[in-house]
Amino acid sequence: MPVANLIDGRAIASQIQSETAQRVAALKARGVQPGLVFVRVGEDPASKVYVGMKEKVSVQLGIFSETRVLPQTTTEAELLALLAQLNADARVHGILVQAPLPKHIRETVVYSTVLPQKDVDGFHPENVGKLMLGDPSGFWPCTPAGVLELLVRSQVKIEGAEAVILGRGNIVGKPMAAILCQKSKHANATVTICHSQTQDIKAHCRRADILIAAMGSPKFVTADMVKPGATVIDVGVNRVSDPTAKGGSRLVGDVDFDAVQPIAGRITPNPGGVGPMTIALLMQNTVRAAELAAESTKS
């Protein structure tokens, strides 16, 4: 039986992908095929799964994609040399370097090397700066951008809302806060970021109209932390042991869904909430990068 207050990320992602497919078709009619290259270093099992999922959606939408797999022993200089090649390749509109990287490679250096106009992950300092300044010309990180789409397309009131974000990471927490507090449409929220040193996290959570959990702590958000009627977005992906599950483990979110769902006004499932949106926004960013490249070539 469907849950009445569920925010269906798969359905909303499907809507966005239909829109993106139309844009791909329009580009192809002009002789342009959007191109996306995934770069994976090493054989991290989760990374292989994530890249595989992204590749599959690329094919479905008509986006040219390929994956460059480098061994775990690849040096930072070798990875940067590959990125320089991809930066110079006009067929490539988007470059995604899959995290995590081996410890001997500095993520900040890698993200800074990808050209800002090909940084469809939104991690280049120029794109991060544009987000902070409210400049819409940059690319936003896919997960927080996907969360915003979930809120907007579910008609959740953001303007004037109290939004509490659990987690201050560079991939979700910080950019999410920047997006929600912009002085613009579908923003203007009052934002609080909570983290491991926050005093009385429960008190902050209980006043949230919008609660976004992105701290990487299994089932951290419990029923007593949620204001009745609040919108709860679960970004967390945590693997926990479960002898009854295939492989002896399963994935859970940062929210105790079964306990919180009866209290929340709206809530995302996990899986099936934020995850599909991240991929949908990656494809949207890639197509936009191709559109911008085509315009710059024409001019």
Q: Which of 54, 118, 130, 219 is catalytic?
A: 54
Q: Which residue has the tokens 């927490």?
A: 173
Same domain, 107 and 146: no
- Tell me, yes or no, whether 167 and 59 share the same domain: no
Q: Catalytic residue among 121, 209, 234, 256, which?
A: 121
Q: Is 54 a catalytic residue?
A: yes
Q: Which of 98, 117, 261, 284 is catalytic?
A: 98
Looking at the structure, tell me whether residues 150 and 80 fall in a common domain.
Answer: no
Sort strands 35-41 and 64-70 into parallel, antiparallel or unpaired.
Answer: parallel
Indicate the length of the chain as a whole number: 299
Asked if the structure places residue 280 within a domain, the reply is no
Give the predicted TM-score (pTM) of the model: 0.95
Q: How many separate domains does the chain show?
A: 2
Active site residue 103: no
Using DSSP, state whether 236 is helix, strand or coil: coil
Q: Do 195 and 223 contact (CB within 8 A), yes or no?
A: no
Rg, Å, the chain Cα set: 19
- 100 preceded by a cis bond (ω within 30 of 0): yes
- Identify the sign of the CA torsion 120, 276, 9, 34: positive
For residue 290, being part of any structural domain is answered with no
Which CATH number covers residue 197? 3.40.50.720
Q: Are residues 270 and 148 in the same domain?
A: yes
CATH of the domain at 66: 3.40.50.10860
Around Cβ 256, how many Cβ atoms within 10 Å?
18
What is the domain range of residue 261? 142-274
pLDDT tens track for 121-165: 999 999 999 999 999 999 999 999 999 999 999 999 999 999 999
- Annotated catalytic residue 48: no
Residues 149 and 269 in one domain: yes
| Residues 187-239 pLDDT 10s | 999 999 999 999 999 999 999 999 999 999 999 999 999 999 999 999 998 88
